[in-house]
Amino acid sequence: MAQNTRETLLDAGLTLLLRHGYNDLGIQAVLKATGTPRGSFYHFFASKEAFALEVVDQYMVEVHQGLDAALGDTSLPPLERARHFFELSRDKYRRDGYFGCMLGGLGQELSGTNPAFARKIEECFAVIVQRLADCMQEAKEAGDLPADTDPQHMADLLLNCWEGAALRCRLRRDPAPLDEMLDFYFARAQSA
């Protein structure tokens, strides 16, 4: 029962943190959304910050599932697998109402004021970049990228471009910036 309450709080946190950000999210909203008493919240989480950091961990579980599904599909060439990961993310953004990437949103909101979030989000991005860099290395070895390609740099650039496009997607509530970025990046990567 206790684990269910904790998971219910984290699940609600995923939705609420994405929609409202950290500063506009009150604990009362989480309690109301889940029907959880205040004392139960503080039984599981020492503070709002501790809760939000665990929500980021929960978000990363979903990110890893997407990475595993897309990058693990060896029936596709490596660059198509990398692109597929971002297409899955785009589709999730649509289902969530075009609020974009939680990591990017929290990073923009908190990185200058909260070192714990800045570290956490950068760690999460580093994990994503490394998974993409491994895929880019496969593409390089397959001859799909030029021999002098730096897979780590390509993965960093891909994530940086994506996060910018995700912000524009959120502002417009429209996936066009995401699709345009993917088309540009992958066309350019193969022709470099």
User: What does each of the 192 residues of the chain score in pLDDT, given as a tens digit?
Assistant: 456 999 999 999 999 999 999 999 999 999 999 999 999 999 999 999 999 999 999 999 999 999 999 999 999 999 999 999 999 999 999 999 889 899 999 999 998 999 999 999 999 999 999 999 999 999 999 999 999 999 999 999 999 999 999 999 999 999 999 999 999 999 999 876
Domain assignment of residue 88, yes or no? yes
The reply to whether 17 falls in a domain is no
Residue of 122, 115, 116, 5 lying closest to 60 (CA atoms): 122
Is residue 29 included in any domain, yes or no?
Answer: no
Phi, psi at 18, each rounded to 5°: -65, -45
What's the pLDDT score for residue 192?
A: 64
Say how far residue 84 (Cα) sits from the centre of its chain. Answer: 14
Give the C-alpha separation, 147 to 149, whole Å.
6
Number of folded domains that form the chain: 1
Residue 75: which domain range?
47-191
* 52 close to 22: Cβ distance less than 8 angstroms: yes
CATH number of the domain to which 146 belongs = 1.10.357.10
Decide if 33 is inside a domain.
Answer: no
Question: Domain for residue 30, yes or no?
Answer: no
pLDDT at 2: 59
What are the E-state strand segments in the chain? none
Predicted local distance difference test score (pLDDT) of residue 3 = 65
The DSSP 8-state label assigned to residue 175 in this structure reads: S
